[in-house]
A and B are shown apart, each in its own frame.
Chain A
Amino acid sequence: MVRISFTPNLLRHVQTPADAVEGDSIGAALEAYFQLNPTARTYVLDDQGMVRKHIAIFLNRDMIPASQALATEVQEQDELYVAQALSGG
């Protein structure tokens, strides 16, 4: 199982409790999470299913570039953290 948790900044908009899901890649793990919590999907992924421009995904404290994140392999006990990248005004 892979553990996924989310920036608390999302809580103003959508409930995203941490959870443990199956999956051999970040994309697969996120997909498993969104099967359980479909409302959260569009907050993290865009219309084409890509990681949103201002979302950062950490794998065991390593930030994975958004363009590579979904295909990145994960192992049992890995931890994913979906963060809000710093931007805006």
Chain B
Amino acid sequence: MTRFLVGTRKGLFRVEKQGPGQWTIADSWFLGDPVPMVLAQKQGDDILACLDLGHFGNKMRRTRDGGVTWREEIAPAYPEQAEGVKEVDPVRGLEVPWSVKLLWSLAAGPDGTLWCGTIPGGLFRSEDDGATWSLVESLWYDERRKKWSGGGYDFAGIHSILIHPGNPQHITVGVSVGGVWQSQDGGASWEVIGEGLRAEYMPPEMAHDPEAQDPHVIVSCAAAPEQLWMQHHNGIFRSHDWGRTWTEFHDVKPAVFGFAVAVHPKDPETAWFVPAIKDEQRIPAEARPVVTRTQDGGKSFTILSEGLPEPPAYDLVFRHALDINGDGSVLAFGSTTGSLWISEDQGESWQVVSEHLPPIYCVCADQ
């Protein structure tokens, strides 16, 4: 039975079903500590949790017994910065630190390789199941990376890592702000892709610059992994070819702005979004949190609100805080105001699990 891991500003929680319609917070760990990302494997017995300890840096903790015991693991770290090497964020002018500011994304490849995306923009790889991590230098030292910039954070970051389930050499990452990058040789070389993406915030003649794009998150359909959905800073996009080309969907009500997207693992035509008004008004339209869903590949979108709060409600959902389980039967999402909802009917209706959690950073189905 699927459980959901919920990483928050003040701890990690696990939600499980204890009876018909009875989803409950059954476990909690790291109370008081921010947990920006988790990776669950082996039906949730194996959990890798990222902790942002603020004063004491970013750490990794791992359980292999479903949360009974945890141990500290070596976390990704940047190599020594050579004397005289200095770069600045092109927007803010701040010096880019060669030091992990946030462990922001995790993924496991079909060959067991683990991947971690960080702020400020480093991609790390572990080929020994997390015992050690190494910076993917081909990307970090790529001169084109210096065009990446901070968005909501001071520095650019890698928030999405998609590994081809049949080819571990095929790696796609989403960068905020820096576009979509792809390697077909295991990370030895990289290509920036994304024809069709559009950045409304750029000068018009630069709107289609692939490196200027701000994908908020990118997801892939498990059964058809070349089929991607993206919630972008100013729109909703879909790709049929692993992100090489994209189609934008306009006029999606109530808004095309948001952070999160989930795609059905068996049906690439079905995807869910949690909209907010727009970038400078990051609240639900009419103070009414809703989910939007397409079941026809973006031809039409339905607004789903049964079980979600009546106005006024100001829940915002971060990019990693919406997930669907492995067989596509259960969805969950959580908000910055600490509300968590679950749906067992494809989003038609939602059950509130709690409205009193800390701000929610990520929601992750454990199978």
Among the interface residues B53, B75, B97, B100, which one has the most CB atoms of the partner chain A within 10 A?
A: B53
Number of contacts between A and B (CB, 8 Å)? 48
Are B100 and A87 in contact (CB-based, < 8 A)?
A: no
Q: How far is the CB of A61 from chain B (nearest CB, A)?
A: 20
Q: Does A85 contact B (CB under 8 A)?
A: yes
From B79, which residue of chain A is reached at the shortest CB distance? A47
Interface set, chain B 182-240, CB cutoff 8 A to A: none
Give every chain A residue within 8 A of B57 (Cβ-Cβ).
Answer: 42-43, 46, 52
Given contacts A14-B72, A48-B81, contact A43 B56 (CB under 8 A): yes
Interface set, chain B 85-134, CB cutoff 8 A to A: 97-100
Q: How far is the CB of B260 from chain A (nearest CB, A)?
A: 24
Give the size range of A's interface with the partner: 20 to 34
Residue in A42, A48, A52 whose beta carbon sits within 8 Å of that of B59 in the complex? A42
> A47 vs B133: C-alpha distance in the bound complex, in angstroms?
13
Residue in A13, A47, A84 whose beta carbon sits within 8 Å of that of B99 in the complex? A47
Q: How far is the CB of B225 from chain A (nearest CB, A)?
A: 33
Given contacts A42-B59, A46-B99, A48-B78, contact A54 B72 (CB under 8 A): no
Are A85 and B81 in contact (CB-based, < 8 A)?
A: no
> A34 vs B311: C-alpha distance in the bound complex, in angstroms?
54
Are B56 and A13 in contact (CB-based, < 8 A)?
A: yes
Are A52 and B98 in contact (CB-based, < 8 A)?
A: no
Q: How far is the CB of B31 from chain A (nearest CB, A)?
A: 10
> A50 vs B78: C-alpha distance in the bound complex, in angstroms?
13
A 54-88 to B, binary, CB cutoff 8 A, 1 in contact else 0: 11000000000000000000000000000011011
Residue in A48, A55, A85 whose beta carbon sits within 8 Å of that of B98 in the complex? A48
Are B78 and A47 in contact (CB-based, < 8 A)?
A: yes
Are A88 and B55 in contact (CB-based, < 8 A)?
A: yes
Give every chain B residue within 8 A of A46 (Cβ-Cβ).
Answer: 57, 97, 99
Which A positions have Cβ atoms within 8 angstroms of B?
A: 9-10, 12-14, 39, 42-44, 46-50, 52, 54-55, 84-85, 87-88
Which B positions have Cβ atoms within 8 angstroms of A?
A: 32, 53-57, 59, 72, 75, 77-78, 80-81, 97-100
5 contacts between A and B (CB under 8 A): A43-B57, A46-B57, A48-B97, A54-B55, A88-B54
